Structure formats: C-alpha cells, structure tokens
Amino acid sequence: MPEPTKSQKKRSHPHKTSRWRENINVIAVSLGIAIAVWLFAKLSESEEAGLTIPVVVTPDDPRIDIRVLPAQMPVVLRYPKELRNYITSENFYFSVDISDLRDQLGLDWLSKTEPMNEKNFVAKVRGARRVSLVKVGGPSNTVRVEARWKAYPAVVAPDIVGVDQLPPGYQLVPPVRVEPAEVWVTAKPEILISVQRDTETSKMKILTTRIDVAGRTQGGLVTVPLRIPPGVEVVHPKTTTAEVSLEIQEIQTVREIRGIKINLTAVAPESLSVEYEEKEATVTIFGPQSLLPKVTPEMIELAFVRPAEEVPGTTREVGLEAHFAATAPEDLRSKVTIRSVNPKSIKVRYVPKQQASTR
C-alpha cells in the first residue's frame, strides 16, 4: 500500500483534533449527568419517624381560658436524612386559630373541632418544606378546643352628685338600684391590679358616668354609660351601659295628733252600753313632711278590737285601733301611715241599758 503523501498527512491532523474535542465534550457531559444523578439520589434519600407534637391555640391571649383535647397529636413525618437531628417534638406543632370564637366568648365554654392536617402543621426547622406529614393521629385526627373569658366579677356603682342640692324636704332614698348590679370583666393582670375596689365586698368596682340629681323632686329610671378603665373589657353581660333607678321623695317623719275623741258603743247598743274613763287618745302618723300638718283629729276614727263576746256586768281590757275616716282626702290616705295609738287599750265595763239609764 502506498504511503500517504505530505499533503494527505496535513489534511488528517485537523480531523484528529476535532474528534478529540468531541470525546472530551462527551466525557464532560457524562460526568455532569453522573454527578446530577448522584446528587438527586442523595437528595431523594429520606427517612420516616413517629413523634408526638403539641396542639397550640392562636392567637395567644392571657385573658382567655383554653382547654385542648387532645393537647398532643401523634404524627409520622418523612424528611431528608440531613434533617435527622432536627426531627424532635420541640420543632413541630399543630396550630388552631380561635379568632372566630373570640367575639362570642362569655363565661360559658364555647368549643370548635378541627381536623389536623397540612394546613395546621407548623415546622420550626430550616428546609421545613421538605418535611411532610405521612400520618396524623391515632383513632382520630380531630382536636376539640374549648375557650371562655378568664373573667372576674366587678360591682357596678352609680356615681351620683348633687344630693346636697335637692330641694328642702326632699331626699334620695337609699340604696340606689343598678342593673346590672355586677358585671364580669377581663384584662391583663397588671391592669386588673390597678382597678378600683369596692370597700364592702373587696371586688373590683366599675362606676357609671356622673348622675346629677340637684334640684330634682322626682326620681326615675336613667340609662348611663359605664366608666370602663382603659384595657378592661366587660364580657358578661356584654354591655357598656347601666340602668339606675332613682327614688327621690319628701323626707318622711312622724307627728302626734292629740285629742282624738274616743266614742265607742257596744255591738248591741239598744240593750247594752259601755263605760270607760279615757275619753281621748293620741295617734302617731308617718309620712311626707308637707302632708302631715294637713291631718286633723276629725280625719281619724277609733274603734274597738272587740272581744269574742260582750257580757253585761263584766269589765274587759279592750284594744284600740285607729284608721282614716272615709272623709279624709285620698292623697292623705295613700301617703300617710298610722303607726300607733295611745293608749293601746282601755278598760271597758259592759252595763245593761236599763241599769245605765237609772244612774
């Protein structure tokens, strides 16, 4: 076979160089693919582990009492091997949001149930997206959360001013009734400590806004706002007002009416008469100062508290009672009270009519 000429040798050298470069490229690509496959294989290596992780309620509010059943939930997690040291119960939890219950809370427990899944699952590790839930719960994956306000009772007291400026002879009748008389409040502990206290009960005290009674001669029912301290919330009953019942009346006092005639007869006056030494009595009445002077002796009648029988020739201690006569004005009879009569009783002798007439 003839040897290649010099020109042929020169043409074959560039061809060999091009093939060598192609081989190097192929080797580089193959090596890159191998490295990528190795990395993918390493990254895809995973483990599984079973843990028990807590159930946490949000938002965290120290004013709310919380009960969680169950308080922990068993799970099975799948994770890359390099995260093995971070797979502990302290780094994972389930979150239950109770924002929807907060506006409805009172003193009674309210509850909600919710299944635990990826939506509630929280991981506190780097690469948390690479940790997945394989299984949640045992017999059930449902959690029940119960909540209510951590509240304390507070007395509601009216803030009344102007009592010393009532018209002469009038008074504000104690005690002043308030509705509600007590509310339940909540606040952070450092705020509750500063709330005013009621001296009688040692409970917290919430005042109403000021009620001015100066110059009033009549009471009534008034609705006023509560003066709720900053940071304090009334949770039961849910109210920001109170109804205050004011009773304003004339000062009540007593008066003695003397010289009321004792004019008594027997049950059967045609055959029996009564004899007694006392001829007048004194009656004590109670009522508004402006009305008492209007009561006269003629407006009051005296009567026997009669015994079971009236026997001629006997003497009995008979009680006296007093009442307003029918002729007394209705205004007096409704507002003035007869408290007592003196003497309370008198000795009465029952005398046959014929014997009495011969005396």
Mark which of 107, 126, 149 sits at the end of a domain: 149
Pair 104, 189 in one domain: no
Confidence of residue 14 (pLDDT cuts 50, 70, 90): low
- In which band, very low, low, confident or very high, does the pLDDT at 27 lie, cut at 50, 70 and 90? low
36 within some domain: no
Q: Which residue has the higher pLDDT, 347 or 20?
A: 347
Choose from 7-11, 40-44, 85-89 the range with maximum mean pLDDT.
Answer: 85-89
pLDDT at 329: 93
Whether 236 and 272 share a structural domain: no
**CATH code: domain of residue 261:** 2.170.120.30
Query: What does the pLDDT average to over 122-129?
Result: 91
* Amino acid sitting at position 48: E
pLDDT greater than 70 at residue 12: no
Residue 19 included in any domain: no
Mean pLDDT of 157-170: 95
Q: Which H or E run includes 183? A: strand 182-186
Residue 187 lies in a domain: yes
- Greater confidence, 17 or 281? 281
The pLDDT-based confidence of 18 (bands split at 50, 70, 90) is: low
Predicted confidence (pLDDT) at residue 46 exceeds the cutoff of 80? yes
In a domain, 204, yes or no: yes
DSSP state of 130: G
Residue 102: the pLDDT is 87
Where among 250, 269, 290 does a domain terminate?
250
Query: 304 pairs with which residues across the strands?
Result: 320
Instruction: Decide: 57 and 148 in contact? Cβ < 8 Å.
Output: no
Using the 3D structure, point to which of 222, 250, 278 is the last residue of a domain: 250
Of 107, 104, 106, 116, residue with least CA distance to 69: 116
Q: Would you say residue 349 has pLDDT above 70?
A: yes
Evaluate whether residue 2 is within a structural domain: no
Q: What is the pLDDT of residue 263?
A: 87
Res 66: pLDDT: 96
User: Tell me, what CATH number does 234's domain have?
Assistant: 2.170.120.40
DSSP for 251-302, please give it.
Answer: PEEEEEEEEEE-----SSTTTEEEE-S--EEEEEEEEETTTGGG--GGGEEE
Residue with tokens 């009465």: 348
- 354 and 259 in a single domain? The answer is yes
At 43, the pLDDT band (50, 70, 90 cuts) reads low
Q: Which residue has the higher pLDDT, 20 or 132?
A: 132
| pLDDT (0 to 100) of residue 23 | 66
Q: Residue 103: count other Cβ atoms within 10 Å of its Cβ.
A: 7
Total of domains in the chain: 3
Length of the chain, please?
Answer: 359
- Any residues with CB less than 8 A from the CB of 329 and at least 6 apart, and which? 294
Give the pLDDT score at 103.
Answer: 84
* DSSP per-residue codes, 18-64: HHHHHHHHHHHHHHHHHHHHHHHHHHH-EEEEEEEEEEEEES--TTE
> What's the number of CA atoms in the CB half-sphere (13 Å) around residue 183?
26
pLDDT reported for residue 272 = 86
pLDDT of residue 358: 53
- Does 213 score more than 70 pLDDT? yes
Report the range of poorest mean pLDDT among 32-36, 121-125, 202-206.
Answer: 32-36
Domain enclosing residue 58, as ranges:
46-149
Mean predicted lDDT score pLDDT of the chain: 88
The pTM assigned to this predicted structure is 0.59
**Any domain includes 30:** no
What pLDDT does 269 receive? Answer: 83
Backbone angles phi, psi at 316, to 5 degrees: -135, 150
Phi, psi torsion values for 353, nearest 5 degrees? -60, -40
Across residues 242-250, what is the average pLDDT?
Answer: 95
In a domain, 27, yes or no: no
Question: Which pLDDT score, from 0 to 100, does residue 359 have?
Answer: 53
> Quick one: 90 and 143 in the same domain?
yes
Mean pLDDT of 207-229: 96
Q: Which two tokens stand for residue 270?
A: 């045609």
CB-CB contact of 310 with 349 (8 Å): no
Asked if 192 and 152 touch (Cβ cutoff 8 Å), the reply is yes
pLDDT digits (tens, 9 = 90+) for 189-205: 899 999 999 999 999 99
Q: Bigger pLDDT: 138 or 39?
A: 138
Q: State pLDDT tens for residues 295-323.
A: 999 999 998 888 878 888 889 899 999 99
Please list the residues that pair with 342 across neighbouring strands: 282
Q: Is 8 within the bounds of a domain?
A: no
The amino acid at 220: G
Structure-model confidence comparison of residues 156 and 39, the more confident one: 156
Cα separation, 35 vs 13, whole angstroms: 34
Order across the sheet with 46-58: list the strands: 121-123, 92-97, 46-58, 72-80, 132-136
The pairing of strands 204-212 and 152-161 is: parallel
235 and 328 part of one domain: no
Preceding peptide of 59 cis, ω within 30°: yes
CB 340 within 8 A of CB 320: no
